[in-house]
Amino acid sequence: MSGWMVVCRKELADNLGSKRFLLLFGLIIALALLSAYQGAESIRESGSSGQLFINIFSGSYGGGGSFLYMMYLFGAIIGLSLSFDAINRERTEGSLSVLLSQPIFRDSIINGKFLAGISALSLVAVSTVGIMSGVAIPILGFGPGPDEIVRIVLFTLITILYLAVWYAIGLFFSTVTRKTTTSMLMSISVWVMSILVISIIASLVANALYPTQMPTGMFTISEDGSYSQNELMMTEYRERIQANSELRQMIQRISPSTLYQEAASSITTVSGIFISGPTIVSYGSSSSYYSGAEQDMLSSWPQITVLAVILIVCFAASYMLFLRQEIRAGA
């Protein structure tokens, strides 16, 4: 058996048996069950033929929190929790130097750890989506159609990619730092920036460059009490609102969480509803707007590509740094 496979099996067993992983996995399963039950009940009680099975994942039923938003928040945590101490903890304990004394290539260690982490995270995504579907089908009385099955598979793969990105980010910090507390704090800082700080910065910059306040004098009241509007000012105001929205969205796409949110929303939302964080913005109905899974996949391809690039860059950086590091017992 090759060295990376030996390391992968050992790391996978350690990950699946760790209290940290089991606690977070149990939390995600519990929240997923609640989301599936709430979504299925809302769809069933609405009695609308336009409600689709896939909506239990996107929250398009309008019944509260969605599985998509849950993964947007907690997916990063479970990815980071498996990797923030993957390298520096073993370096500090001295087990890494012992492992390198065996007939195992150095690159096999980091490759095995990475594959073990991705395998554990894939198990989380696949099992959670499967459990949600199993809970929703008996409640709704129907299952997903062919197009929805494709969407569910694509959504699961995008979720795995998103979890893998955060695992790679945590692995990078674990490689460049010597203390687990440092890598943990750096990982948490990136997570907070991704879901909160970048959005705040985007709003501040967009509002500073393109203020959204309605200009005075745009509406006037005539002597007979009727309202009239300045068409030129109205056009400029609409253009400024559009520019503000586009700039804010462009800045927010620095965040892996925003990229995942946009890609997953495109795949799981088939009724003209876009999920923006905890907010649901409707711009159509299922009867007037519907695109196939292939078209939605193409529309989300730029976000998926950027997520894949982030994953490759973070892992490649960790790989190169790990191969060049001097590893001593207790160091």
Task: State the alpha helices, DSSP H only, in the chain.
Answer: 3-17, 19-46, 55-58, 67-83, 88-93, 95-100, 106-140, 146-176, 180-192, 198-209, 231-252, 256-268, 293-299, 301-324
pLDDT value for 272? 41
Read off the pLDDT of residues 276-306 as tens digits, 9 standing for 90 and up: 444 434 333 333 345 677 888 888 899 999 9
pLDDT tens track for 5-36: 888 898 999 889 889 999 999 999 998 888 88
What is residue 268's predicted lDDT score, i.e. its pLDDT? Answer: 83
Flag whether pLDDT at 166 surpasses 50: yes
Looking at per-residue confidence, does 312 or 209 come out higher?
A: 312
| 153-167 mean pLDDT | 95
* pLDDT tens string 214-229: 766 566 666 555 565 6
Return the structure tokens found at 265: 């929303």
Whether the Cβ atoms of residue 78 and residue 24 lie closer than 8 Å to each other: yes
16-20, 53-57, 68-72, 77-81: lowest mean pLDDT where? 53-57
* Of residues 131, 266, 261, 258, the one with CA closest to residue 201: 258
3-state secondary structure of 95: helix
Structure token pair of residue 45: 């009680």
Q: In this predicted structure, what is the pLDDT of residue 327? A: 67
Mean of pLDDT values over 84-99: 83
